[in-house]
Structure 1
Amino acid sequence: MITGAVFMLIGLALAAGGGWLVLLGGSWYYLLAGLVFALVGVLLCMGRRVALILYALLMLATLVWALWESGLDWWPLASRLGVPFLLGVWLLLPRVRRGLDQGHSRLAGPGGQAAPRSSWIPLAAVVIATLLLSVASWWNDPHRIDGNAPGPRPAAGALAEVVPAGEWHAYGRTQQGQRYSPLVQLTPANVADLEVAWTYRTGDFRGQPGDPVETTFEVTPLKVGNRLFLCTPHQSVIALDATTGAEVWRLDPKIQGELALQHLTCRGLSYDYGSADTGNGVGNAAGGALAANAGTSPGPGPQTGADNDSANPLARQIPPRDKSDAGPTSQRTSSGAPVAVTDLPIADSCSAQLFMPTADGRLISINPENGRICPDFGNGDGQIDLWHNMPNVNPGSYYSTSPVVVTDSLVIVGGTVLDNVSVNEASGVIRAFDVDTGELVWNWDSGNPDDTAPLGPGETYTPSSPNSWAISSVDEALGLVYVPLGNQPPDQWGGDRSESVERFSSSVVALDLATGQVRWVFQTVHHDLWDYDVPAQPTLIDLTVDGRTVPALVQPTKQGELFVLDRRTGEPLLPVTETPAPQGAAEGDWTAPTQPVSALSFNPPPLTGADMWGATLFDQLACRIALRKLRYEGRYTPPSEQGSLIYPGNFGVFNWGGIAVDPVRQIAFTMPTYLAFTSTLVPREDDQTLYVQSGGAPPHGALPSLNENFGAPFAVEMGPFLSPIGLPCQQPPWGYVAAADLTTGEVIWQHRNGTVRDLSPLPLPFRMGVPGIGGPIMTAGGVAFLSGSLDDYVRGYDVTTGRQLWQQRLPAGGQATPMTYTGTDGRQYLVVVAGGHGSLGTTPGDYVIAYALPSAQ
């Protein structure tokens, strides 16, 4: 009786949900299966063995349906077959079958004969067939692409190399953003022997008063001489001995409190070799002192794996930071931030500089030798006040989360602007300052793009103009800086955008280094309503095209395109097609008729009901119903009051981590991610009411009310497309590693990447392919590295085949881009930052971990 009642309840649930799905135009399976489940339940309650035959037919139909929708793909099959299979096994238990052997339960057949006692055999056959097909699917991966990357191209060559092979001078190693190291010590043959060489802990954890949810440790350290330079989420700047991991110095830039932060992070510092050039085009900071200085100076961050007693005497001569060094603390910028030279220790002079952008809107110049402020920069303040000439001053609502660009003569600064808070935000202006003095040389404001002369006193830049929160790239030989641009807030409604906004938003813009004037612009999305801002650094590489070398730019996008352009003109080197896009925007808005699609694209196919997923039939059914209730017409479905499915979501196929390229093989190593999001417009009746904040209460302190869009017609509710139990509604894989040929547009290989060990209630290491954020790197030794997957691992891959060669467990989420260099002991080191990501909920931490081969090797 209990078994029959369970079947009837399952049947009623499936029939009710399935009927709703049919009314919405979806699959009939759930309704029909629900009715059969209920009938089986009735027959079981009556004790009739024919229930086993009927259930065998239902299981067989379910197996055929599951194979028709999913093929031999284990995870989609498991969600469809798991519950029916387990129930089938339950019915085959002798204890259950004995309950059907009572005389009153025999169903008389023709001539009054009872149903045969062997009625369990068809069910057993179907259960076994289901099991065998499921096991067979374990060895089948329909999402996998196998292939071999090409070797060195005959005419290929790297861009002019100005960084020593064993160093890492910029976020992408060089200002070209390739994330490629010419080091060859680590190879597919020995990378499995990597072990922890040292670990450093910064002592900086998220969760402090005033922290936004998205407080993240995303830094990629620099390596100059024998020092590593990095910054922490709460903006401390730290120098480490690159060989031992011991702390050399530490600077707290004294960030002002009560900031309107959407993000709190620092992805990296920028290095200017200045007058420390040693004749090879690159300085080793202060006439080579950094290379020689292997010493340490104890600091507040705890350390492991480093011997602080081995400090070099030169390091001990660096005066400790003391308040007496700092002078009075009364001086403040116009926005309330402290002035560096009055609050911090001051260097006598700086022959090289580190640039640190701060969360309160400053750019500070630091002496890399001793961590002191460079007094000659910024008109003697040691800093630039980035709020100068800005409209809508609100500290924390604008700052450079990404490293600034440094050229021989300029430091070029963009910044993030609050997304979806209001229509009255700071400007997205791009500014170029003299690298030695900090004097403003030009400013490019996309709201006033033709006038790049510095603004005068009392003038302000265009409010809320498209901003550049990602990293820019530079080709000094061509005299161009390449700037990836975002959108004008609000992201999901664009009825009031100006002509210049329509031209420049969600594009990559080439600006003349000398004047700031636009040389070309390539728009990746027309009239962006999806938060598809250009998130990643443009990657510069020279490609061999038709036997000639062409200077190229590769631009990853959130929607999965890799646009390959001639970086002299912005013209596509791989074809770009304008494809029709869904129409019908919200009231007062419009949609572009077409959108650009590259010949090299990781854009996923449109989602269908068959792509919906869950742990069971029931949450998969719920996801199918949710899909049918949402507006969805494929990529670029406009946001709506009904609620729209946005796929790819604004998490992006590619995000700020970008890609890595091998300039010799002319291939890209990528980590495409696939997560659908929903976007629902909520009409606003006034400019004060909170429409989408949880509980209707404003955030604590100065933190902004995200997605309210004050001043716009609509607030917006956004989030990942999840099942009732919190799983993605779309079936896995959700994350890959993949290689692509940049000369042909061919995807060479693509493999699922990462496990759900840290994403599921039970730590099960199922290799489902998980999302990631944080970029990869490549090496000339033929190994690529990645730590950004949402399980806590760092991994190494064979660049030729994509085969995973090595992995090691991290103590926290590794949502940062690794880097590699050579230590003074001759070993190649791989450095990974593991601090977790606030809004993604990965394990928090404060770790900087270096790996190397054992010393004997």
Structure 2
Amino acid sequence: MAVLTGWLLILIGLAVGAGGAWLLWLGGSAYYLVAALGFVLTGALMVARRPGALWIYALLILGTGVWSVWEVGLDWWALVPRGAVIVALGLWLLLPFINRGLHGTGGQPWTLAAGPLAVTVVLAAALALLSWQRDPHDLSGALPDARAPAPDSGIEDGDWHAYGRTGLGQRYSPLDRITPDNVGRLEKLWTYHTGDVRGDGDPTETTYEVTPLKVDDTLYLCTPHHWVIALDADTGEERWKYDPEIDKNISRQHQTCRGLSYFPGHRADDGLESGGDQALAASGSGLEERPDTAEDRRCRRRLFLPTADARLIALDPDDGRVCRDFGDDGAVNLWANMPHQKDGFYYSTSPPVVTEDRVIVGGAVNDNVSTSEPSGVIRAYDVDSGELLWNWDPGNPDDTAPIAEGETYSASTPNSWSVSSVDEDLGLVYVPMGNQVPDQWGKNRNPRSARFSSSIVALELATGQVRWVFQTVHNDLWDMDVPAQPSLVDLTTDAGTVPALVAPTKQGDVYVLDRRTGEPVVPVEEQPAPASLGYQPVADTQPASALSLNPPPLRGRDMWGATLFDQLACRIQFHRLHYQGRYTPPSERGSLIYPGNFGVFNWGGLAVDPRRQVAFATPAYLAFVSTLVPRGDATTDYVSDGKPGLGENYGAPYAVTLKPFLSPLGLPCQQPPWGYVAGLDLVSGEVVWKHRNGTVRDQAPVPLPFKMGVPDLGGPIITAGGVAFMSGTLDYYVRAYDLTTGDTLWEDRLPAGGQATPMTYSDSQGRQRVLVVAGGHGSLGTRAGDAIIVYGLPD
């Protein structure tokens, strides 16, 4: 057995040596070559039955421990995989039936022959135990208490009227019945199954991302195939269901519905001029229904549903019937005046903004398919009639008067696929803009629209004219859309109260701007960016916020693997790729993009407490590889693998592949944590606390609940009780957190992935409830489902 073990060690050494030599030639660490020598010498001495083999292997374990601590310190998840295989083989060598056959071991004490190896194995175990006791990535702190009284939201405390509860997009509820002291007693009250599940022919990204609304005694939600369902808020009993009957055979990149929009009816006559130049007051305050007649089938209140076949439908919240007086028989056709019309290539995945007299909608344009795509136009329609009031076309930004019949909007402009916010007192809507397509090819972009790419744009509600624009990435080549709804909050500063806008970004920067002017409240500076690689022009500098969760640049020592071998493979990959830090341009060689286009933040955004003026954030960290693939013609598919042209960039000189940076085992090549929860002080611009969040239970081959910190998709909410809720991690849990410290207070297992933002409301008896959607996410590979789950405290 000793000889067989020796040959095994020699083979391991040769394999590690080949990889180690390659890594050293690429400029990486010499450790693997030295370790390979240790394996080979140990193996050779084992074959020769010499007891010195155990001494050599003891030196290998000792050297590995010293090198590992030098590279990563006492970080358990980075430290232990470096030596796990080596220590395990050391234990094997200590077994009597292995080392008994070595010449000389029978004539000398065991402690002399194998003692040094036993000592190093014990030291390695002690080092692992020591590192398990601490987390070098953890940041402890306490967020401040209330700085200001909570402003009047204009709706009942127990209601949730918009995606972010109100048009301010704070995802904050004034309900305070659930507190850090009692949240651990939450229990499941009821579950409703929608019946809409992922099926044959659906795109990969068929996913539940909906945050339901709660108005009076009813919950309203939409499903991935755009069914609208009304439920009794107390019992979960279905009240009505509406199916827009979209064509499931159309090829789409996405199949989702993030939510509905609610119009509560018109105000009583209070002197405001509907559609005038005056600022429009906050929707939902003192609302009364406008009278109508039964003959015109007018809906006094309305739900607005954007659909996957590019319609905007108005429904009556009472019974789900279509409001026939809106648009053309109840719907507005969003394909109107669009260039390059092709089914599935444009629709609004997010709920529109609704104000006193208008509904404002953008739309998602397919990424990286072609240089000839639909427009990213933002349009405002009359909330009653569906008449087009204005259109803001990024390629023709100054002319916002309704487009003439027969004309088309500018093609391939930046689009807004996420959720906008609105301040009706200031008369502004705040639009998070995506990148100008194709995402990774930025040559010959329209300069008129390029300044709106990956930016926040403030548009006047009355006219659609640009009030200000703040660009978060110049000449975006990385798909760094502004992905989330900006949160609007008034901040108490030394200069007085400032009406602010808080915008999280994919690259991890959190921009805090004066929402009147777009000027930074928290400092922003332009920083030098990596130079062009010759394929296309790049910006010399890129903006960076002082409030940021942007990770530090990756190094070779940050490469990770579950074993010595896949970690070595990741190091080789890292050194083969082009990498100059954040904003490394795409290349034919392959460029490492970190943070990747999955984003530190995505559409879930932040939750903001307007009293404490703090934010609860859920940053995620995954690197991607962006590779340009030369195109020989404008029609051949080079990279899409049967998908609807994804990555082909028809009309550009390069297609693109964009993939996660993974090891041969399918694990991230950069070391964990990959996901956190974090508490931000928006006044001081500081990250106050930060803790790894989530386990690999549902992603690992063996379902072990290791708290490594995993990415999430789907945002958090905050309550006045001092509790935050989030369900979007890649493990199937909903969790409650202490807003002050970030400590996890409670969790419950979900039947499927919870990649949606929860919400909270009160029932007819005033009892606070927490609602979670567990439907899974196709792109992330989480389990599909169709569950709407409501929790509450025991009566």
TM-score (normalised: structure 2): 0.96
Structure 1 residues 396 and 286: CA distance shift in structure 2, 3 A = farther
1:232 alignment partner, one of 214, 217, 223 = 223
| Aligned equivalent of 1:782 | 722
| 2:209 is equivalent to residue 215 of structure 1 | no
**Cα 1:479/1:278, change in 2 over 3 Å:** closer
Answer whether contact 1:49 1:115 (CA < 8 A) is retained.
no
The 3 A distance-change label for structure 1 pair 467 and 131 is same
Q: What are the equivalent positions in structure 2 for 1:613-762 lying under 5 Å apart?
A: 613-694=560-641, 698-699=642-643, 704-762=644-702
Write the distance in 2 (CA, Å) between the matches of 1:85 and 1:180. 50
Residue 267 of structure 1 deviates from its aligned partner by 0.2
Gap change, CA 1:617 and 1:281, over 3 Å in 2: closer
Which of 516, 529, 537 aligns to 1:568? It is 516
Structure 1 residue corresponding to 2:733, chosen from 785, 793, 804: 793
Residue matched to 2:255: 264
Structure 2 CA distance for aligned equivalents of residues 286 and 228 of structure 1: 21
Q: How far apart, CA to CA, are the structure 2 residues paired with 1:827 and 1:346?
A: 40
Aligned-pair CA distance for 1:130: 0.5
Q: How does 1:766-845 map to 2 (within 5 A)?
A: 766-845=706-785
* 1:36 corresponds to 2:38: yes
SS in 2 for 1:468: coil
Task: Report the Cα offset of residue 97 of structure 1.
Answer: 1.7
Q: Name the structure 1 match of 2:277.
A: none
Once the two structures are superposed, the pairs formed by residues 402-551 of structure 1 within 5 Å of their partners are 402-546=350-494, 548-551=496-499
Task: Report the AA paired with residue 123 of structure 2.
Answer: A
The structure-2 alpha-carbon separation of the partners of 1:115 and 1:549, relative to structure 1 and needing over 3 Å to count, comes to same
CA contact (8 A) 1:172 1:179 kept: yes
Q: How many residues align?
A: 780
Aligned residue for 1:170? 162
TM-superposed deviation, 1:99 = 1.3
Is contact 2:154–2:286 with CA below 8 Å preserved after alignment?
no
- The code of the aligned residue for 2:90 comes to G
| Cα shift at 1:158 | 3.6
Contact (CA 8 Å) 1:816, 1:834: kept in 2 or not? yes
Aligned-partner Cα distance in 2 for 1:598–1:19: 41
Deviations 1:374-405 (A, max 9, x none): 11111x51110000110111122111100000
Cα deviation code 1:222-259 (max 9, x no counterpart): 00000000000011000000010000000011113432
Any gaps of 5 or more consecutive residues in structure 1? Answer: 107-113, 289-344
Q: Which residue is equivalent to 1:185? A: 177
Write out per-residue CA displacement over residues 764-818 of structure 1, whole angstroms, 9 at most, x where no aligned residue.
1000000000000000000000000010000000001100000000000000000
Aligned to 1:274, the other structure's residue is in SS state coil
Give the secondary structure class of the aligned counterpart of 2:115.
helix
Residue 92 of structure 2 is aligned to residue 152 of structure 1: no
* Structure 1 pair 781–139 and aligned structure 2 pair: CA distance change class (3 A): same
- Label 1:712 to 1:597 Cα distance change in 2 as closer, same or farther (>3 A): same
For 1:756 and 1:825, how far apart are their aligned partners in 2? Answer: 39
Q: Alignment partner of 1:510: what SS? A: strand
- Separation in structure 1 between the aligned mates of residue 626 and residue 547 of structure 2, nearest angstrom: 27
Determine if contact 1:10/1:34 at 8 Å carries over to the other structure: yes
2:121 is aligned to 127
Shift of 1:116: 7.8
Q: Aligned partners of 2:246 and 2:630: how far apart in 1?
A: 37
Report the residue type matching 1:693 in the other structure: S
The letter for the 1-side match of 2:559 is M
Structure 1 stretch displaced more, 443-452 or 345-354: 345-354
The percentage of aligned residue pairs carrying the same residue is: 63
Does the aligned pair in 2 maintain the 1:158–1:541 contact within 8 Å? no
Give distance in 2, aligned partners of 1:463 and 1:223.
Answer: 38
Distance in 1, Cα, partners of 2:521 & 2:287? 39
Q: Deviations over 1:93-125 (max 9, x none)?
A: 11112111468x99xxxxxxx898612111111
Task: Please state whether the residue corresponding to 2:192 is helix, strand or coil.
Answer: strand
**What amino acid does structure 2 have at the position aligned with 1:149?**
L
1:348 aligns with 2:288: no
Counterpart CA distance in 1 for 2:178 and 2:296 is: 39
> Do the aligned partners of residues 68 and 822 (structure 1) sit closer, same or farther apart at CA in structure 2, a change above 3 Å counting?
same
Q: CA RMSD in A?
A: 1.9
Decide whether aligned partners of structure 1 residues 70 and 346 sit closer, same or farther in structure 2, where only a CA change above 3 A counts.
farther
Determine whether 1:69 maps to 2:71: yes
1:43 alignment partner, SS class = helix
Moved more, 23-32 or 539-548: 539-548
The whole-number CA distance in structure 1 between the counterparts of 2:62 and 2:314 is 70
1:15 aligned partner: 17
Q: CA deviation at 1:825?
A: 2.4
Question: Helix, strand or coil: the match of 2:451?
Answer: helix
Matched letter for residue 690 of structure 1: D
2:549, 2:542 → 1: CA distance?
15
> Where does structure 2 lack aligned partners over 5 or more consecutive residues?
271-281
Q: CA-to-partner distance for each residue in 1:596-634, whole Å, 9 max, x for gaps?
A: 010000000000110000010100000000000000010
Take 1:10 and 1:278, find their aligned partners in 2: how far apart are those partners? 82
Determine the C-alpha separation between the residues in 1 that align with 2:185 and 2:248: 45
Match of 2:101 in 1: 99
The answer to whether structure 1 residue 358 and structure 2 residue 313 are counterparts is: no
2: CA distance, partners of 1:284 / 1:512: 23
Q: Is the 8 A contact 2:436 2:450 kept in 1?
A: no
In the alignment, the residues of structure 2 paired with residue 21 and residue 115 of structure 1 have an alpha-carbon distance, to the nearest angstrom, of: 41
Q: Secondary structure in 1 aligned to 2:499?
A: strand
Deviations 1:312-362 (A, max 9, x none): xxxxxxxxxxxxxxxxxxxxxxxxxxxxxxxxx999331100000000000
Query: Deviation string for 1:270-306 (max 9, x for gaps)?
Result: 0001148799973899969xxxxxxxxxxxxxxxxxx
1-side partners of 2:96 and 2:704: how far apart? 32
| 1:163 shift after superposition | 1.6
Q: Is contact 2:266–2:356 with CA below 8 Å preserved after alignment?
A: no
Aligned partners of 2:138 and 2:692 also within 8 Å: yes
Q: Which stretch has the larger CA shift, 255-264 or 638-647?
A: 255-264
Q: Which amino acid aligns with 2:745?
A: L
Confirm or deny: 8 A CA contact 1:692 1:707 kept in the other structure: yes
SS at match of 2:371: coil
**Preserved CA contact (<8 Å) 2:51 2:104:** no
Report the residue type matching 1:128 in the other structure.
V
**Which amino acid in the other structure matches residue 211 of structure 2?**
T
**Kindly tell me: are residues 263 and 831 of structure 1, through their superposed partners in 2, closer, same or farther at Cα, counting changes over 3 Å?**
same
Is this contact kept in 2: 1:347–1:374, CA < 8 A?
no
Paired position in structure 2 for 1:315: none
Q: Pick closer, same or farther for the CA change 1:521–1:102 going to 2, 3 Å.
A: same
Shift of 1:487: 1.1
- Over residues 487-533 of structure 1, what are the superposed CA-to-partner deviations in whole Å (9 max), with x where a residue is unaligned? 11110111110112321100000001111111100000000000001
What is the CA–CA distance in structure 1 between the aligned matches of 2:295 and 2:470, rounded to whole Å? Answer: 43
Q: One-letter code of the match for 1:377? A: F
Partner of 1:305: none
Q: Partner of 2:390: helix, strand, or coil?
A: strand
The 1:541/1:724 distance shift into structure 2, 3 A limit, reads same
Distance between the aligned counterparts of 2:268 and 2:349, measured in 1?
A: 28
Distance in 2 (alpha carbons) for counterparts of 1:83 and 1:281: 62
Q: Which amino acid in structure 2 is aligned with residue 119 of structure 1?
A: A
SS in 2 for 1:372: coil
